[in-house]
Amino acid sequence: MIWVIVGLLILLAALGAPLFAILGAIALIGFHMAGQEGIAVAVEFYRLSDMPALIAIPLFTLAGYILAESKTPQRLVRLTNALVGWLPGGLAIVAVLACTLFTAFTGATGVTIIALGAVLYPALRQAHYGEKFSLGLLTASGSLGLLLVPSMPLILYGVVAQQFQTTPPVSIDALFKAGVLPCLLMVVMLGAYSAWHVRNVARPQAAPRGELMAATKDAAWEIPLPFVILIGIYSGKLAASEAAAATALYVLIVTVLIRREIKLAELPRVIRHAMVLVGGILVILGFSLALTNWLIDAEVPEKLFQFLRTHIPESNPFLFLLALNLFLLVFGMLLEGFPAIILLVPLVLPVAVRYGIDPVHLGIIFLANLQLGIFLPPLGINLYIASARFRQPVMTLVRAAVPFFLIMLAATLIITYWPGLSLWLAR
């Protein structure tokens, strides 16, 4: 009987049923079999309104969407270009840095490819960078930045992980601190490879004198933003949710009232775009709250651990991490970032803790792998987004992305097996 239901739900998911409906059905059936009424699922779902950290998600997402629709992407590219564009491979480094900062803010890697790709792709081609190189670079760079404050997937990991009350605890601030060095590692490795790859392309002329000044002035309203968030959070003055509130209000006022790059009449559309994403994620989270309690009551993670232990001894966390990497890559490709976090963290976190892995480090491992999965062939969603954006066949993008994929894979392995890199700033 139970296997018929499981098979049916898997079939429904494959047919394209929304993920939250699948989870809701599992929760209703699970509660029913445990002798509880359906109303208990509604009570669990309602816990969504009882999580103080959650507000950071809609606020940062809204800020990111407003920035994406303003002229901030162009100003960001101009400023980074004035700063590092004169280096060998400068424009490629510009692409990596701009994409990283932008994804950190929107948390949506596809949005970065669409918004920044429009500015960067023509610029890269104009600077005589190869077509294949440019395509691969932008497809890969889109997912950089998920590890950097105030990335929304990182917040989501924290919110989900906090339910487990692990020792040491998973605070969102700790995750933000832990993500910095791993993100830097990825940026440096991609940047170095790019600079090496285009070593034969003529170096661009140094920007005209005064360009740096002009670009800085141009972006004067945006420049304080990362500093306020970084200093606020790293000094402990602002909690993540407070930083989100300050950012959202600031971005709203600057973009709509001061710069007027989004007209008041367009604001409902931008808000709707952002909230459709947030709503879609939070209904999944709501049902997963119900499921998580059920999983814990049924001791599913414990059983999973006991089963795994027969294959991977506790004394060998490296082997466990290797299996985890493979598992996360495949699920990251199938599910994209957000649902993968909501679904997998409740299963993986308790098991990983038993293998002695720090839950904050686990969060960084999660996101590093999801970054890769997002453009892993054949189903990684960003390959398709980039294919639509740059009007190229998917196969071209797959081939173009391979070297970048391998570099980020190497970075992910370093991040996975070197906990100190993540934990040095966080603990």
Partner 1 sequence: MTPAFQRNLARLHRFEDWVLTLLVLVMVVLAGAQIVLRNFFDSGFPWAEPVLRALVLWSAMLGAVIATRDDQHIGLDFIARFAGGTALRVARFVALAFAAALCGAMAWYSWALVQLDREGHTEGVIGIPAWMLELILPVGFGLMALRFLIRSVLPAKAHETLPETGA
- The Cα–Cα gap between 427 and 423 comes to 6
Least distance to partner 1 from the beta carbon of 327, Å? 17
Largest CA distance in the chain: 74
Closer CB to partner 1, residue 131 or residue 242?
242
The residue from 82, 248, 353, 367 that contacts partner 1 (CB under 8 A) is 248
Residues in 250-269 that interact with partner 1 by CB under 8 A: 250, 252, 267-268
- The Cα–Cα gap between 115 and 73 comes to 7
Tell me which stretch binds partner 1 (CB under 8 A): 116-124, 126-134, 293-301, 398-406.
116-124
Least distance to partner 1 from the beta carbon of 229, Å? 12
Count of alpha carbons within 13 angstroms of residue 220, beta-carbon side? 6
What is the pattern of x (binds partner 1, CB under 8 A) and - over residues 269-308? --xxxxxxxxxxxxxx------------------------
Residues in 388-407 that interact with partner 1 by CB under 8 A: 388
Residues 96, 145: contact at Cβ < 8 Å?
no
**Residue 140 is which amino acid?**
A
Closer CB to partner 1, residue 73 or residue 179?
73
Residues 411, 181: contact at Cβ < 8 Å?
no
Least distance to partner 1 from the beta carbon of 59, Å? 6
Closer CB to partner 1, residue 51 or residue 296?
51
Residues in 157-196 that interact with partner 1 by CB under 8 A: none
If one counts every other C-beta atom within 10 angstroms of the C-beta of residue 339, the result is 20
Q: Output b/e per residue, 200-230; b: 16+ Cβ within 10 A.
A: ebeebeebeeeebeebeebbebbeebbebbb
Tell me which stretch binds partner 1 (CB under 8 A): 65-73, 146-154, 179-187, 299-307.
65-73
In this structure, what is the dihedral angle of CA atoms 134, 147, 107, 301, given to the nearest 10 degrees?
A: 120
- The Cα–Cα gap between 227 and 78 comes to 19
- The Cα–Cα gap between 58 and 72 comes to 20
DSSP per position, 390-404: HT--HHHHHHHHHHH
What is the pattern of x (binds partner 1, CB under 8 A) and - over residues 9-48? ---xxxxxxxxxx--xx--x--------xxx-xxx-xx-x
- Residue 146 dihedral angles phi and psi, to the nearest 5°: -65, -20
Least distance to partner 1 from the beta carbon of 213, Å? 22
Tell me which stretch binds partner 1 (CB under 8 A): 193-201, 303-311, 329-337, 366-374.
329-337
Least distance to partner 1 from the beta carbon of 74, Å? 5
Residue 58 in the binding site for partner 1 (CB under 8 A): yes
Residue 229 in the binding site for partner 1 (CB under 8 A): no
The residue from 5, 7, 122, 206 that contacts partner 1 (CB under 8 A) is 122
